[in-house]
């Protein structure tokens, strides 16, 4: 594949530097100490793909969408060889990556409901809804992990199932209501949360505050895993091709906030790669609707 070394300046981190014994503060190493069984290691290839750095320089404007898509596919591959377990990723999500705090201490702001549940637990089952604060008629819910790209479409396979760039903490009921449905603009909701997430015949519409996050997670997932088996049992034209214009719109309308950028930093520390559409949302339009659909 054509190299674009003149287009970007990247920080290259090797597996040795990422998992060095001297780095006692690494989140991945902390979890490794807790559960060594949660990790497996693959042999490093002769040439490792570059790790996308937050300090990279944007590609020059004459790079076409397909070239940029291919470059970002390579650039978002972790340079270390550690494959995190789904259990380890969820623990990190609940206890650190998405634990942005509530009014009086640590806690998680639920993705589709915007309800903050206090706690610093590493298990979603330990976070309980206070009454029906979600406003969906189901009180006492708990938090679990939503896969923005539904895990049923890739048979819950690693590394996709454990990739934190498309995982989010949600109450179990809206998570279950969304299921494997596509994201859409809903006109006649049959289910909704007090924050405005809705289920309808068109699909599932997240609350306005989460729409950009959803879009960037979906676009990242396609760039990173388009060459994997991620379309099992899916109506691809409906789920992806027809949804791309809406995702690009949400990405533009709901720009990354401080919490999303902080999360990108933490996920990079943990699994060794970044979501480039959080660092530079404009890259999505640079790639363009046609290229996203072609994959």
Closest CA to 158 of 271, 73, 35, 14: 271
- pLDDT given at position 69: 94
Report the chain's mean pLDDT, rounded to a whole number.
83
Residue 185 resides in a domain: yes
**pLDDT tens readout for residues 34-67:** 433 343 323 333 333 344 443 345 555 667 899 8
Overall average pLDDT of the 273-280 stretch: 93
On the question of pLDDT at 277 being above 70, the answer is yes
Torsion of CA 289, 292, 294, 295, to 10 degrees: -170
More confident residue, 24 or 271: 271
Cβ-based neighbours of 105, under 8 Å, separated by 6 or more? 118, 120
**pLDDT tens readout for residues 173-211:** 999 999 999 999 999 999 999 999 999 999 999 999 999
- pLDDT given at position 41: 29
Cβ-based neighbours of 7, under 8 Å, separated by 6 or more? 57, 59, 60, 63, 71
- pLDDT given at position 60: 58
- pLDDT given at position 199: 99
For residue 171, name the pLDDT band (cuts at 50, 70, 90): very high
**How many domains does the chain divide into?**
1
Residue 59 resides in a domain: no
On the question of pLDDT at 232 being above 80, the answer is yes
Closest CA to 174 of 113, 125, 129, 109: 113
Residue 13 resides in a domain: no
- pLDDT given at position 75: 87
- pLDDT given at position 63: 76
For residue 77, name the pLDDT band (cuts at 50, 70, 90): confident
Residue 46 resides in a domain: no
- pLDDT given at position 197: 98
More confident residue, 250 or 19: 250
- pLDDT given at position 211: 99
Residue 97 resides in a domain: yes
Residue 110 resides in a domain: yes
- pLDDT given at position 275: 95
More confident residue, 290 or 14: 290
- pLDDT given at position 59: 54
- pLDDT given at position 235: 97
**pLDDT tens readout for residues 78-127:** 756 556 799 999 999 999 999 999 998 999 999 999 999 999 999 999 99
In terms of residue numbers, what domain contains 281?
65-294
Both tokens of residue 180? 């494997």
Put simply, whether the predicted model's pTM sits higher than 0.85 gets the answer no
Residue 138 resides in a domain: yes
Instruction: State the SS3 of the chain.
Output: CCCCCCCCCCCCCCHHHHCCCCCCCCHHHHHHHHCHHHEEECCCCCCCCCCCCCCCCCCCCCCCHHHHHHHHHHHCCCCCCEEECHHHHHHHHHHHHCCCCECCECEEECCCCCCEEECCCCCHHHCECCCCCCCCCCCCCEEEEEECCCHHHHCCCCCHHHCHHHEEEEEHHHHHHHCCCCECCCCCCCEECCCCCEEECCEEECCHHHHHHHHHHHHHHHHHHCCCCCCCCCCHHHHHHCCHHHHHHHHHHCCCCHHHHHHHHHHHHHHCCCCHHHHCCHHHHHHCHHHHHHC
Both tokens of residue 290? 């046609």
Residue 220 resides in a domain: yes
């Amino acid at each position: 594949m054509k190299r674009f070394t003149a287009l970007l300046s990247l920080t290259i981190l090797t597996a040795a530097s990422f998992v060095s014994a001297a780095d006692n503060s690494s989140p991945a190493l902390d979890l490794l100490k807790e559960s060594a069984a949660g990790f497996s290691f693959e042999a490093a290839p002769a040439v490792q793909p570059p790790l996308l750095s937050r300090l990279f320089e944007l590609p020059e404007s004459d790079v076409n969408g397909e070239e940029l898509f291919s470059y970002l596919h390579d650039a978002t591959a972790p340079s270390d060889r550690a494959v995190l377990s789904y259990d380890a990723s969820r623990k990190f999500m609940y206890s650190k990556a998405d634990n942005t705090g509530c009014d009086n201490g640590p806690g998680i702001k639920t993705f589709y409901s915007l309800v903050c549940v206090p706690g610093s637990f590493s298990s979603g089952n330990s976070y309980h809804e206070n009454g029906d604060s979600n406003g969906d008629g189901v009180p006492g819910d708990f938090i679990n992990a939503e896969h923005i790209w539904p895990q049923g479409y890739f048979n819950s396979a690693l590394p996709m199932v454990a990739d934190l760039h498309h995982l989010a903490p949600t109450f179990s009921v809206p998570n279950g209501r969304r299921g494997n449905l596509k994201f859409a603009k809903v006109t006649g909701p049959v289910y909704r949360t007090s924050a405005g997430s809705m289920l309808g015949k068109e699909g599932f519409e997240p609350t306005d505050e989460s729409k950009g996050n959803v879009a960037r997670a979906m676009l990242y997932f396609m760039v990173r895993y388009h060459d994997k088996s991620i379309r099992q049992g899916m109506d691809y034209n409906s789920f992806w091709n027809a949804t791309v214009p809406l995702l690009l719109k949400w990405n533009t309308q709901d720009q990354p906030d401080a919490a999303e950028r902080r999360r990108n930093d933490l996920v990079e520390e943990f699994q060794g790669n970044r979501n480039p559409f959080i660092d530079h949302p404009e890259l999505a339009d640079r790639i363009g609707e046609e290229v996203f659909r072609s994959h």
